């Protein structure tokens, strides 16, 4: 590691510690400089201002979290674990992370930060891979993108509601109830199907279509377009 990277890493870790322990107000130039053992001008030179430093801290923490999630998804895929169990585990991990890291969660709940955060985008791709595994089993009644958006929106809302409630008054069953409500929106239940299972079958086919290597790239794109049109018409 270069001296530049080492110094940058020390500053980020010092700021992350202050943020985790005392919140954003504690992340002052003086406090971070003392914690990292550097001069204050070094922070300005590397990060520009406090917002730049907070962005770097949020990215650092989120990147570590997403990396761990990606490893879990890869292991679940390799072990052929139940996709629904894996999806639920991902939800629970997200809720736990948000409640354990309120300052980081609030930073990454800012739409402007999310749009420019590689780690946040990687996190959404991990969720999408989990949803994709469910789609491949034929259990989705909605498109993969809609399922991802519903789960993400519900998770953010559940965490925000719990964080806004005094710790001793929090209903920890709230997140589970929200998740079950989302599942009722996105999953099929064979006895209740009204389309003869067509939607689930088409969504499942759409999920595995990119793996049909016998088709050319143009044919795969055309097939995807056709399936998307069928899904849109049934929805």
Secondary structure of residue 116 in the 3-state scheme: coil
∠ CA 215-135-235 to the nearest 5 degrees? 95
Classify the phi-psi angles of 143: left when phi > 0, otherwise alpha if psi is within -120 to 50, otherwise beta. Answer: beta
Secondary structure of residue 187 in the 3-state scheme: strand
**Domain edges within the chain:** 1-48, 62-234
Domain 1-48 has CATH 1.10.10.60: yes
**pTM, rounded to two decimals:** 0.71
pLDDT of residue 84: 93
Can you give the pLDDT of all 235 residues of the chain as single tens digits?
678 888 999 999 999 888 888 888 888 888 999 999 999 899 999 988 888 888 888 888 888 877 877 777 777 666 678 999 999 999 999 999 899 888 888 887 888 777 778 888 888 899 999 999 999 888 898 999 999 999 999 999 999 999 999 999 999 899 999 999 999 999 986 444 455 567 777 787 788 788 888 888 888 888 888 888 888 877 6
């Amino acid at each position: 590691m270069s001296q530049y990277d080492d110094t940058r890493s020390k500053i980020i870790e010092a700021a992350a510690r202050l943020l985790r322990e005392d919140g954003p107000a504690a992340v002052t130039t003086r406090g971070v400089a003392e914690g990292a053992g550097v001069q204050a001008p070094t922070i300005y030179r590397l990060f520009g201002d406090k917002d730049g430093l907070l962005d770097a801290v949020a990215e650092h923490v989120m990147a570590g979290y997403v990396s761990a999630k990606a490893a879990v998804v890869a292991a679940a895929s390799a072990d052929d674990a139940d996709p629904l169990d894996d999806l639920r585990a991902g939800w629970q991990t997200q809720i736990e992370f948000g409640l354990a890291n309120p300052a980081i969660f609030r930073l990454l709940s800012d739409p402007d930060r999310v749009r420019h955060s590689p780690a946040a985008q990687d996190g959404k791709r991990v969720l999408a891979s989990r949803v994709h595994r469910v789609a491949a089993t034929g259990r989705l009644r909605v498109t993969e993108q809609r399922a991802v958006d519903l789960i993400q929106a519900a998770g953010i809302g559940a965490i925000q509601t719990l964080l806004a409630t005094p710790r001793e008054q929090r209903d920890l069953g709230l997140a589970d109830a929200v998740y079950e409500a989302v599942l009722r929106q996105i999953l099929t239940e064979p006895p209740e199907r009204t389309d003869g299972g067509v939607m689930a079958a088409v969504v499942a086919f759409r999920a595995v279509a990119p793996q049909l290597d016998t088709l050319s790239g143009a044919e795969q794109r055309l097939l995807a377009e056709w399936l998307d049109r069928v899904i849109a018409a049934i929805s």
